[in-house]
Amino acid sequence: MRHSVAMSVQVDAALREHLDRPDGQEDICLATYSVSTGRTRISRLITQVELPATGERRVHGNATITGDYVLRVAAVAAAREEGLVILHSHPGGHGWQELSGPDHDAERSYSHLVQRITGLPLVGMTYSGGDQAWSAREWVIGSPIWHESVRVVGNTLRITWNDTQRRPPATTVEQIRTVSAWGEQLQQDIARMRVLVVGVGSVGLDVAIRLAATGIQHIGVMDYDTVEPLNRDRMIGATRKDARRKTPKVEVADRLMTTAATARCPEIALHYLSICSPEGLATALDYDVIFSCVDRPWPRAVMNTLGYSDLIPVIDGGINIDTFPNGCMQGASWRVQAVAPGVPCLSCSGQINMPQVALDRAGLLDDANYISQAGLHSPASQNVALLSASVSAAQLAQFVTLTVSPGGRGVYSPLRYILAAHHQEHLDGISQPGCRFEHRPGEGDKRSEFVSNTGPWIDAMAARTRKRRNFALPCALARFVASARITDRK
Ligand SMILES: [Zn+2]
Ligand SMILES: [Zn+2]
């Protein structure tokens, strides 16, 4: 298992407010964390900063805390079913920090007690005042396990990497133009991110190929679907042979990404899964950024959740092409939006409709009778090759904004381009009070049940499988087919 810490930009700001002292001395404080368990990564998500009360810490060049402070916050963490983080600053430090002898002894001395009270390992973190970098380790049986990264997530994504756990990749001569856009340091940080593309149809395939060309070392592609003849006017690079043989879409992506990749040792992970399945969800939790390139409401709702609950920013995009009853084109608009703490979610900005999500979950979204009875519209699913590149371009520009933050600014409200008016606009997105997606950023494995529930998913997949085959499979067989389709073959 790999280990990582993540926090929202709001938590990062609250911690820096305390640890960045004007007098240049070190400081220290505690916080609580929840857990996000992926297939190959455990993330500790900082949920709340618990500042010391009067007398609970002493600043004297170095900083020390009292045992009472640790006991008090450990009890708070235990009551929330969370773990405890101890954080201190190195005011002049730059980058990932090692543990000094006194740091080691102090954290180790509390680790057994904290583990006993909270049932979770003590996490130790160091803040580098010179460049706002973070480093992290956790304590198991008196020894530190070093984390791979610390992610600060919001309208920007800033990751401090542990160079010994995930080495900075050498930039290649093929990447000279890319490096000239944002510099070698950022290129190395971006190239180390694990990026997942969910849905590799017209838009996702283009996104995945361009991520590979940029030099990103590890890219995952997730899709349980296969190529059909009607995909070929939008999946650029899928061949007639692919359509005839029903090649899985992720294998077409693999072939084209391998050709385009500029990283020295690119890793392309193929996930023959739906993100709505428990396996798909756990796989997604291993990634640092997710591209949402699907049009169905349920998977988009799942990703909308992860942007907040698990602090994994999601970049969502979609297109609408409207036609007159006679089949002529009326207009088109496409829209792109990043989902992360501090920016409104897809539900608040009207991009997903919860009754549609419920129908999709129940496997009824393809049933025209149910749709009209519920007074809903089917989600738009048409896209054309001449316009899909506009959607992928808009999503990739959001990725650059999120990771490079040119001009110091990150992602903002949703963007919409209206073709007939030749007009691009910011949409006013306001987080609704009590929004179920945004109300508890960093809740991790305690995320809303509608994401992790497995029963209706199997039924929905079985219903869809029946529909695709155009005859009624016996239910048990349909379930078998559905579960076979999502088996991750890698
Ligand atoms: Zn220290
Ligand atoms: Zn919301």
In angstroms, what is the span from residue 316 Cα to ligand 2's centroid? 14
The residue from 140, 161, 182 where one domain ends is 161
Q: Please indicate, yes or no, whether residues 94 and 198 belong to a single structural domain of this protein.
A: no
Centre of ligand 2 to C-alpha 307, Å, is 11
Please enumerate in sequence order all residues whose Cβ is within 8 A of that of 23, keeping only pairs 6 or more positions apart, or say none. none
What would the pLDDT profile of 285-308 be if each residue is shown by its tens digit?
999 999 999 999 999 999 999 999
**What is the per-residue pLDDT for 488?**
42
Domain identity same for 334 and 191: yes
What pLDDT digit, counting tens, does each position of 256-273 carry? Answer: 999 999 999 999 999 999
- Taking only the tens place, the pLDDT of each residue in 342-388 is 999 999 999 998 888 888 888 887 776 666 666 666 555 578 999 99
Q: Give the pLDDT score at 285.
A: 98
Average pLDDT over the chain, rounded to an integer? 89
* CA of 28, nearest ligand number: 1
Q: At 419, is the pLDDT very low, low, confident or very high (cuts 50, 70, 90)? A: very high
Render pLDDT for 441-464 as a digit per residue (tens, 0 to 9): 999 999 986 554 444 555 555 445
Q: How many angstroms separate the alpha carbon of residue 430 from the centre of ligand 2?
A: 8
pLDDT given at position 313? 98
**What's the CA-to-centroid distance between 32 and ligand 2, angstroms?**
24
* Residue listed under structure tokens 């919001």: 154
- CATH number, domain with residue 226: 3.40.50.720
Same domain, 104 and 17: yes
Residue 420 forms part of a structural domain: yes
341 vs 485, which has greater pLDDT? 341
Q: 250 pLDDT exceeds 50?
A: yes
Report DSSP letters for 344-356, one per residue.
--TTTTTSS-HHH
In angstroms, rounded to a whole number, what is the distance separating the alpha carbons of residues 31 and 51?
Answer: 8
Asked if residue 203 is part of any domain, the answer here is yes
Ligand nearest to the Cα of 125, by number: 1
User: 410 alpha carbon to ligand 2 midpoint, in Å?
Assistant: 19
How large is the average pLDDT for residues 211-225?
97
Q: What distance in angstroms lies between residue 100's CA and the mean position of ligand 1's atoms? A: 6
Q: What confidence score (pLDDT) does residue 252 get?
A: 98
Contact between 136 and 43 (Cβ < 8 Å): no
Whether 69 maps to a domain, the answer reads yes
**Which ligand has its closest atom nearest to the C-alpha of 340?**
2
What is the 5 CA–ligand 1 centroid distance (Å)? 18
Ligand in nearest proximity to the CA of 305:
2
Q: How far is the CA of 63 from the centre of ligand 1 (A)?
A: 9
d(CA 340, CA 8): 8
Q: How far is the CA of 53 from the centre of ligand 1 (A)?
A: 21
Question: Average pLDDT for residues 139-163, to the nearest whole number?
Answer: 97
Residue 152: name the closest of 136, 170, 167, 171 by CA: 136
Residue 300 sits in the same domain as residue 333: yes
274 and 405 in a single domain? The answer is yes
Ligand nearest to the CA of 107: 1
Do both 269 and 306 map to the same domain? Answer: yes
- Give domain status of residue 167, yes or no: no
Q: Determine the distance separating the centroid of ligand 1 and the alpha carbon of 105, expressed in angstroms.
A: 11
Residue 214 lies in a domain: yes
**pLDDT value of position 413:** 84
What the block records as the tokens of 207 is: 């996104």
Do residues 303 and 404 share a domain?
yes
Dist CA 253 CA 237 (whole Å): 9
Q: 186 and 213 share a domain?
A: yes
Q: How far does the centroid of ligand 2 lie from the alpha carbon of residue 438, in Å?
A: 5
Where a domain ends, among 110, 130, 161? 161
- For residues 157 and 185, state if they share a domain: no
CATH of the domain at 120: 3.40.140.10
Residue 99 Cα to ligand 1 midpoint, Å, equals: 6
Q: CB within 8 A of 465, min separation 6: which ones?
A: 473, 478, 481, 482, 485
Find the 103 Cα to ligand 1 centroid distance in Å. Answer: 5
Higher pLDDT, 329 or 368: 329
Please identify, among 114, 141, 161, the residue that sits at the C-terminal boundary of a domain. 161
What's the gap in Å between 60 CA and the centre of ligand 1?
A: 13
Residue 168 lies in a domain: no
Tally of structural domains, the chain:
2
pLDDT at residue 366 in the model? 74
Say whether pLDDT at 19 is over 60.
yes
Ligand 1 geometric centre to CA of 127 (Å): 9
Instruction: Give me the pLDDT at residue 49, please.
Output: 98
State yes or no: pLDDT of 156 exceeds 80: yes
Domain shared by 87 and 126, yes or no: yes
Ligand located closest to 346 CA: 2
Res 7 pLDDT > 60 = yes
Residues 55 and 199 in one domain: no
List of residues 6+ apart from 143 with CB closer than 8 A: none
Query: Do 177 and 95 lie in a common domain?
Result: no
Model confidence at 429, pLDDT cuts 50, 70, 90, reads confident
Ligand 1: centre distance to CA 372 (Å):
63
Residue 441 belongs to a domain = yes
The answer to the question of residue 235 being in a domain is yes
Tell which wins on pLDDT, 378 or 239. Answer: 239
Range of the domain at 400: 173-485
